[in-house]
Amino acid sequence: MTGQKPLVVSFGGGTNSVALLCGFLNKGIRPDLILFSDTGAEMPHTYDCVDLMRIKVNEWWGLELLTVSYKKTIVQHCHDTGQMPSLAYGRRSCSQKFKHYPMERYIKSWAKKSGITEITKAIGFDANERRRLERAPNEKYLLKNLREVYWYPLAEWGWRRQECIQAICDAKLPQPGKSACFLCPASKRSEVINLRDKHPDLLRAALNIEEEAQKTNRTYRGLGGKKNLWSDWLSLDAAQEKLWLDIEPAHLPCHCTV
């Protein structure tokens, strides 16, 4: 439990963070502040989830789910610098700049106005995320007189992904899906193909950033990391699809008997 310290929730708009709020509701825990850091490049289903949870947070606790952001979107930053998100280069500064920094900036201002010197921040790592939990910090000083203590309720409750999904079902809420930027270099090939099929406009925006980066960086890198261009993945997928159609024409009977 959080004691008397104000409880701040880091809300990402994905399965774990929605389950976290459902768990709080069921256990009678009331947050004091709920923050969503908007990179400006979230998937459409994430923005839909945030809009829905704004309503629910107000119904459940009379609170506002607040959105914070960096001074520019990650897409604008990529165009301005001619680079891809930092994860494509093996770094993780994009999360710090576009997720953590806006949230910390707001918390500092909020705490200062309220005379708060210590808060508890709830983060939705589930019980199966052992590596993340092992690396996760216990506390941080945002200011000399502002201590932020981290709490991982899902792990404490023993909730894995299946328990999180069930908690959302029990609350009669739609499953939010994965929360990630549409141009995230951690995306799997299948996710890039899915982006092509469902959100071609977002894929074009991501490919434009990848193409611009090739002009400013001498190393052969793509949104998939070193020597992994999304454009190559898509070309390969298209070639494999054509090969399959050449080998197994769609007009051949399947010999089904049912």
Per-residue pLDDT tens digits for 64-87:
999 999 999 999 999 999 999 999
- HSE on the CB side for 48, CA within 13 Å? 10
Residue 35 phi, psi (nearest 5) = -125, 135
Q: What is the Cα–Cα distance from 160 to 116, expressed in whole angstroms?
A: 33
Q: What percent of the chain has pLDDT over 70?
A: 89
* pTM of the complete model: 0.87
DSSP conformation class of 136 = -
Burial class (CB in 10 A: 0-12, 13-18, 19+), 209: buried
Burial class (CB in 10 A: 0-12, 13-18, 19+), 173: middle
Torsion of CA 137, 45, 37, 89, to 10 degrees: 70
Q: Which H or E run includes 219?
A: none
Q: Which long-range contacts (CB under 8 A, 24 or more apart) does 252-256 make?
A: none
Closest CA to 126 of 163, 96, 100: 163
Closest CA to 31 of 64, 68, 74, 67: 64
Amino acid (one-letter) located at 247: I
- For 134-182, the pLDDT digits (tens) are 988 899 999 889 999 999 999 999 999 999 999 999 999 999 999 999 9
Q: What is the Cα–Cα distance from 209 to 87, expressed in whole angstroms?
A: 14
Q: What is the pLDDT along the chain (258 residues), one digit of tens a residue?
A: 445 799 999 999 999 999 999 999 999 999 999 999 999 999 999 999 999 999 999 999 999 999 999 999 999 999 999 999 999 988 888 899 999 999 999 999 999 999 999 999 999 999 999 888 998 889 999 988 999 999 999 999 999 999 999 999 999 999 999 999 999 999 999 999 999 999 999 999 999 999 999 888 766 689 998 888 999 999 986 655 544 444 444 433 333 333
Question: Could you tell me the two tokens for 158?
Answer: 């023993």
Amino acid (one-letter) located at 61: W
First to last CA, the chain: 57
* Under 8 Å between Cβ of 91 and 191: no
